[in-house]
Structure 1
Amino acid sequence: MGRRGMAATSHPTATLTAISILQAGGNAIDAAVAACAVQCVVEPGSTGIGGDCFVLLAAGGSDKVIAYDGSGRAPAAATLDWYLEHGFTEIPRQSAHAVTVPGSVEAWATLVKDHGRLPLAQLLEPAIALARDGYAVAPRVAADWAGQAALLAKDPHAARVFLPGGRAPLAGEVHHQRELAATLQAIAERGPDAFYEGEIAQDMVDRLRELGGLHTLEDFKEAKGGYVTPIKTSFRGHEVHECPPAGQGVIALMILNILSGFEPGDDPLSADRLHVEIEASRLAYSVRDAVLADPSQSKVPLDWLLSEELAAELRGKIDLKQAITELPSFSASAVEHADTVYISVVDGDGMAVSFINSVFNPYGAALVAPKSGVLLQNRGQGFVLKAGHPNAIAPRKRPLHTIIPGMMTRDGKVCLSFGVMGGHYQAMGHAHLVSKLVDYGLDLQSAISLPRVFPRPGQTAIEAEKTLPAAVKAELERRGFSFTAPAAAIGGGQAIAIDHERGVLLAGSDHRKDGCALGW
């Protein structure tokens, strides 16, 4: 709890960086960018400057939410016909074709220029020092690192940077990323052009072309995100805001629309309540896979997706006696709790920032540009290689994105900045968290820490954390669900609530990650 500023991230060094920036006179967007840059160094499997970001921002405590889409696009030469002619049925993860042009650096620079107080160069200083001088590897970071060692070893440049001595670093060992430090220094000195043009861009393009990619310097030079109109829905007197497609924020809102028609009951972990949440998520995700895409190139029926008519139709398919065996619409997609970092910051003037940055899967495509040290993401795997599908790959198109920042307002004021990491889980995670706060009055930390479940798309199989009560699990199995243990804890999460009446900020940070919340 605090009054003058608050930050919550998945890494303690990033949280401390954000607080330091606030205390140095920066505002919430300054602090979020500085914290994210640090996480691109100290949490390299989760995020990086070779990734993408999305941001929601509300200034002065108001409910006027601004959204920025910092996601990258496919190369201009990436036509569906090219992939089909070359025998692709899907886009391989560790390939140049999985790499879309990174959007993070451009987004950071634009948001700081438009809404920040401090120069980008000052905000990058902590990350540069950590990459150059070394940082101690945190426990969850070490665990994720070890899990990707075999994949990292397949790329000589990734192996050199991330497997020093031929293995993943252990918790407490010191790791350096000196090439990345030099790249961050160049961005600090020359701005985003240093990344998207010149020798750094050339290094990335050369490596991608060497691996068979279609990328050009022009693709990088023309990279640009943009402000977009947030979408929202009402949930029991609150307005919940999300970024629009190609992100999956609309799916979180759809789940909330379905849940709004059910009485919550007294127990957030009752079999009936989890049954409803699971089925609402399964139904919403089945629609997601059929229609979500880049709205600049495909028609995305937002009004229909957010309509009460659709919510009522889907709600009517939920039977508390048994699991749904046949979903109304589904296109298969992989279930992976991809790595991401989510950052929430609120400053003393009431600016709230909900900020998410990702390389998608842990260590992205597990490809590193050799001279610049940039780890490249694998967002291109979000595309479909199927003619006529809204999310089919196309030149300069953005893929379906799983990363989503969230924000909630009430009575003309922002009251919650929140995010839940975890790849495909994020939409369900947003709805789950909002429901636990609004329907059950839980505090932030308790709501974040509750056991999580996630239905595998198109199946009755449910991933469930081991803290789910055995009796509840048994009852849901009786209704036709089956359970499996996730490979790791499901996602992560941070949130900051603003108590305008008392002038207090309250925050929580997920025990599933290394991070913490701090304020003063």
Structure 2
Amino acid sequence: MDRRTFLGAIPAGAALASGVTSSASAQEAVKTAAAPAAPASPVADPYAGIGIGDRISGPKFVGRSTVWGQHGAAASAHPIATLVGIETLKRGGSAIDAAIAINAALGFLEPTGNGIGGDAFGLLWDPKQRKVVGFNGSGNSPRLLGLETVRNRATNGLLPRYGAVTVNVPGTVDAWWSAHQRYGKLPWKDVLLPVAELCEQGVPVPQAIAYYLERNMGLFDRQSSIIEENDNRKKVYAPNGATPKVGQIFANPDLGRTLRIIAEKGRDAFYDGELAEIMVDYFRRIGGWIGRGDLAAHQTEWVEPIKTTYRGVEVYSLGPNTQGLSTNQILNICENFDLKTMGFQSAASIHHQAEAKRLAFEDRAKWFADERFSQTPIEYLNSKPYAAERAALINPNRVMDRAFPGDAPTQGDTTYFSVADKDGMMVSWIQSNYRGMGSGLVPADRRGRTLGFMFQNRGELFATTDGHPNIYAPGKRPFHTIIPGFACKDGKPWMAYGVMGGGMQPQGQAQIIINMVDYGLDPQEAGDAPRWQHYGSSEPTGEPQQGVGKLHLENGVPDATKARLREMGWDLGPTDGGFGGYQNVMMQQNPDGRWTYGAASEMRKDGLALAY
């Protein structure tokens, strides 16, 4: 589909609102990766004390309504990516076709959160099998990079944030290919070529992405001494000496060319062809470790999801090397308490949820790792009896002085999107380069022509301590924070949902389920509700917990709740922008027998939900 055809399929109002023009010239956030530099002097907020406007119906804290449709729906972190997904569905594509197109588009539109240099995971409802299936699209560490070298690059046992030592094999392109082979309807190239054209033509940059682009490039500049090569990222993301500002046109023709090669020649071009040769040669020149054999050996793994129930709702997640089990554990613990009676946004409700998080994250730090190298006692940690034991540790009136992992039998910035099609397939997809934009490394050929994407820095999450399940090893997958979410009711699909943002993800996913199940909120209301996030638990890198940690609350949490939480012993932190990004597509079963889709997007980001 050419650009004129794509634009013609977009309603005029939507095209104007999204900033798309026909002229040819024409986002795991990990808190630390996007923290702004301290201003020289305090600047008064001219909007301090101003609340939101009033809505005629629904809770007053909600910014917009859930979007409804019957044939398809999509929700992503960028309006144009959502439009790309909807148009792919309208051209006869499956939800997987639309998911691939959305992900490819977001790698260009939201490079602060994802790209083909990173990994991908998914959960989806297969309407033919009538079950939830999952895939793990994460890559291995380089086989030529040894533990001793990794330890030499570490500081106090922790790996650096950036540079080649943090790069593992990118899994996203193969995840696209593997999912398309199973569930695609449109020809492979017809899914990717419209996105390649979008990269070449360029689009205006929205507010949040402009902010994160500037902050990420500043962080790379300040850490440039640990990054082996710094020119290529500037060519791609700051082509005129600065990152694009809000409303300015940004194009990435190098990425467009890379996507065209993948569209025409398939995934092998990336893992065992001309693109692979450029990447391997690039690492050879800068002193990195990814080799041709590392790329050629990569394969997406289709996996059986982990399931639990929360007050009758079936909740699915992916097992280690992801943190998906943490969502299940938080919900399993919370199920032991009557959160509804405690009250929405009450101190008691938030206290019990946050304590459940602290307990779950200690198990996460102890056990979660690549299952091919160590075995996590998943069945035990996911069980209701174990959750009851853990729940009994929570004091209803006082924060625990210290949380410990259980005794089980012998454990960044991101983009998330949801999409559903007319046949009932629903896809929950998450993809990330990890901290900020990734490692800082953008591959290029010997003529200096880049491939238009940045490699991930997911390897930062390896541990270096002997005996730790997540200790670095060649050919091993690191611990992963990114997790898609999926939920069913009575064996039927209910929600393809997720909350992006490092350790916020299981905390945020649990809050969405609790908001909808315990407090009766709809998809948009559940996402717009004020959130909490707890920092300071032990980490799978070997970093120890920091006392009781710090509980951050958004401004919308009532003052009385904050005061009571302080009385209970919580150390409260300010609202810091680290509360994640959320998308959701929900299937509603109607009395006439025909389902409809309700789609919701994150008001904290630049995103958009659409249905038709």
Q: TM tier, shorter chain? A: over 0.9
418, 423, 434: which is aligned to 1:344?
418
CA contact (8 A) 1:158 1:366 kept: yes
Aligned length: 513
Q: Which of 378, 381, 388 is residue 467 of structure 2 equivalent to? A: 388
Matches within 5 A, 1:15-414: 15-60=82-127, 63-84=130-151, 89-153=157-221, 154=224, 155-266=230-341, 267-329=343-405, 338-370=412-444, 371-414=450-493
Return the match for 2:566 from 470, 473, 477. Answer: 477
Separation in structure 1 between the aligned mates of residue 510 and residue 186 of structure 2, nearest angstrom:
34
SS of the aligned residue for 2:340 comes to coil
Could you tell me how far 1:423 is from its partner in structure 2? 0.9
**Equivalent AA in structure 2 for residue 393 of structure 1:** Y
Partner of 2:514: 435
Give the secondary-structure state (helix, strand or coil) at the position aligned to 2:199: helix
Structure-1 separation of matches of 2:526 and 2:377:
32
Quick check: 1:4–1:347 contact (8 Å CA) kept in 2? Answer: yes
Read off the aligned partner of 2:518 and give its amino acid letter: D
Task: Give 1:27 shift.
Answer: 1.1
2:153/2:160 contact within 8 Å kept: no
Q: Could you say which residue in structure 2 is the equivalent of 1:335?
A: none
Structure 1 counterpart of 2:598, one-letter code: L
For 1:484 and 1:31, how far apart are their aligned partners in 2? 39
Q: Show the counterpart of 1:333.
A: none
For the pair 1:495 / 2:584, whether they are aligned, the reply is: yes
CA distance in 2, matches of 1:246, 1:312: 25
Instruction: Indicate how the Cα distance of structure 1 residues 239 and 203 shifts in structure 2: closer, same or farther if over 3 A, else same.
Output: same
| CA drift at 1:213 | 2.2
Task: State which drifts further: 456-465 or 429-438.
Answer: 456-465
Whichever residue aligns with residue 346 of structure 1, its letter is A
Identity %: 38
Q: Separation in 2 of the partners of 1:265 and 1:58?
A: 29
For 1:383 and 1:223, locate their aligned partners in 2 and report how far apart those are by CA, in whole Å.
19
- The farther-off stretch of 282-291 and 60-69 is 60-69
Stretch deviating more after TM superposition (155-164 or 202-211): 202-211
Q: Which runs of no fewer than 5 residues in structure 1 stay unpaired?
A: 331-337
SS at match of 2:69: coil
Kindly provide the amino acid, as one letter, of the partner of residue 584 in structure 2. A
Letter in 1 for 2:243: A
Instruction: After TM superposition, give the deviation of residue 95 of structure 1 in Å.
Output: 1.0
TM-score (norm 1): 0.96
Q: Distance in 2 between matches of 1:279 and 1:327?
A: 8
- 8 Å CA contact 1:186–1:194 kept in 2: the answer is yes
Amino acid at match of 2:560: A
Q: Does the 8 Å CA contact 2:315/2:488 hold for their aligned counterparts?
A: yes
Q: Please give the per-residue CA displacement for 1:152-205, whole angstroms capped at 9, x wherever unaligned.
A: 443111112111222221111111211111111000000011111233222222
For 1:201 and 1:209, locate their aligned partners in 2 and report how far apart those are by CA, in whole Å: 12
User: For residues 92-130 of structure 1, what are the alpha-carbon distances to aligned partners after superposition, in whole Å with 9 as ceiling and x for unaligned?
Assistant: 121101111000000101101111101221111232012
Q: Are positions 1:509 and 2:598 aligned together?
A: no
Structure 2 counterpart SS, 1:367: coil
- Kindly state the Cα deviation for residue 86 of structure 1 after the two structures are TM-superposed: 6.4
The question of whether the paired residues in 2 share the 8 Å contact of 1:383 and 1:400 is answered with: yes
State whether residues 489 and 512 of structure 1, in contact with CA within 8 Å, keep that contact through their aligned partners in structure 2: no
Answer yes or no: is the 8 Å Cα contact 2:150–2:165 preserved in 1: no
Contact 2:499 2:509 in 1 (8 A): yes
Cα distance per residue 1:217-264 (max 9 Å; x no partner): 110111111101111101111110111211111000000100110011
What's 1:13 paired with? Answer: 80
Q: Is the 1:61–1:414 Cα contact (8 Å) retained in structure 2? A: no
Q: Distance in 1 between matches of 2:473 and 2:577?
A: 34
Decide which moves more: 82-91 or 382-391. Answer: 82-91
Q: TM-score, normalised by structure 2?
A: 0.82
Is contact 2:429–2:484 with CA below 8 Å preserved after alignment?
A: yes
Contact 1:62 1:414 in 2 (8 A): no
Q: 1:446 matched to which residue of 2?
A: 525
Q: 1:468 to 1:209 in 2, by over 3 A?
A: farther
- Structure 2 alignment gaps of length 5 or more: 1-67, 225-229, 407-411, 445-449, 538-544
Distance (whole Å) between structure 2 residues aligned to residue 246 and residue 350 of structure 1: 29
Alpha-carbon separation, structure 1, partners of 2:302 and 2:153: 36
The higher radius of gyration belongs to: 2
> How many Å apart are 1:489 and its aligned residue?
4.3
Instruction: Name the CA shift for 1:272/1:62 in 2 (closer, same or farther; >3 Å).
Output: farther
Q: Take 2:171 and 2:147, find their aligned partners in 1: how far apart are those partners?
A: 22
Asked whether the equivalents of residues 153 and 159 of structure 2 are also in contact (C-alpha less than 8 Å), the reply is no
SS in 1 for 2:434: coil
Give, in angstroms, the shift of residue 85 of structure 1: 5.8
Greater alpha carbon shift after TM alignment, 204-213 vs 135-144: 204-213
Once superposed, which parts of structure 1, at least 4 consecutive aligned residues long, lie more than 4 Å away? 85-88
